[in-house]
Amino acid sequence: MATVQVTSDNFSRVVSDTGTVVLDFWASWCGPCRSFAPVFEKVSEQHPDIVFGKVDTEDQPEVAAGFEVRSIPTVVVIRDGVVLYAEPGALPERAFTDLVGQARDADMDEMRQRMQASG
């Protein structure tokens, strides 16, 4: 699946309660964002069952603010409505591929139990 542009208008549709979504918060003026873009695209092509979305922080500041994005690029991984990962920094391909694999393999029942216990 190709990456999708995520906006405040389509955010709810893209980030539904089921499935895995990987978001890349970026801006055109950001060098590290431009370096990470081909890695994001390549990994997205290897996982057609996962939604990969790009959020332009200049055009969509309200979406970025919702995730408290303070530095770009920032990668956010959401599975079944639960944020599993949200960290700034351009990841090398191997690390990004590993992150996507961990999200796919995560035991969501265990994650929900941990969240209930801590919250």
CATH number at residue 22: 3.40.30.10
Give the structural domain span for 63. 4-118
- How many angstroms separate the CA atoms of 74 and 101, rounded? 18
Instruction: Give me the active site residues, please.
Output: 30, 33
Structural domain count, the chain: 1
Mean pLDDT by 10 residues, the chain (119 residues): 88 86 97 97 95 97 96 96 94 97 90 79
pLDDT for residue 17 = 66
Asked whether the beta carbons of 15 and 78 are under 8 A apart, the reply is yes
pTM more than 0.85: yes
- How many angstroms separate the CA atoms of 80 and 66, rounded? 18
